[in-house]
Amino acid sequence: MRIISKKILREFWTKHDDCEQQLKSWFQETSNSSWRNPKEIKKEYPSASFLEGNRVVFNIKGNKYRLIVKINYDYQMLWIRFVGTHAEYDKIDATKI
């Protein structure tokens, strides 16, 4: 899976260093994945939530942080749409971000 863009994660963990290792692990695991559908993601990440428009919400560091991505399964591309605290996540519309 090709992830666009790691820079967003790097900038976030610079401000929230308690999640650096978890975000790096997620990035590495996802980069080495070739998910073809939500079912395959759910096998690796049982707590992932799926939204319309091929968006997936991952819980980071015990749900303290949220990561929203948009996936194109056919092209094996993943775009990071949002990373933030749970409180910041509650203030956005995850289906439109």
pLDDT tens digits along 12-43:
999 999 999 999 999 999 999 999 999 999 99
pLDDT of residue 95: 86
Q: Would you say 5 and 70 are in contact if contact means Cβ atoms under 8 Å apart?
A: no
What DSSP state is assigned to residue 58? E
User: Where does the pLDDT of residue 70 fall: very low under 50, low under 70, confident under 90, or very high at 90 and above?
Assistant: very high
Torsion of CA 59, 18, 14, 21, to 10 degrees: -70
Is the overall model pTM greater than 0.85, yes or no? yes
Q: How confident is the model at residue 96 (pLDDT cuts 50, 70, 90)?
A: confident
Mean pLDDT across 42-47: 96
Amino acid 80: pLDDT: 97
Tell me what the mean pLDDT of segment 49-59 comes to: 96
Instruction: Determine the residue type at 77.
Output: M
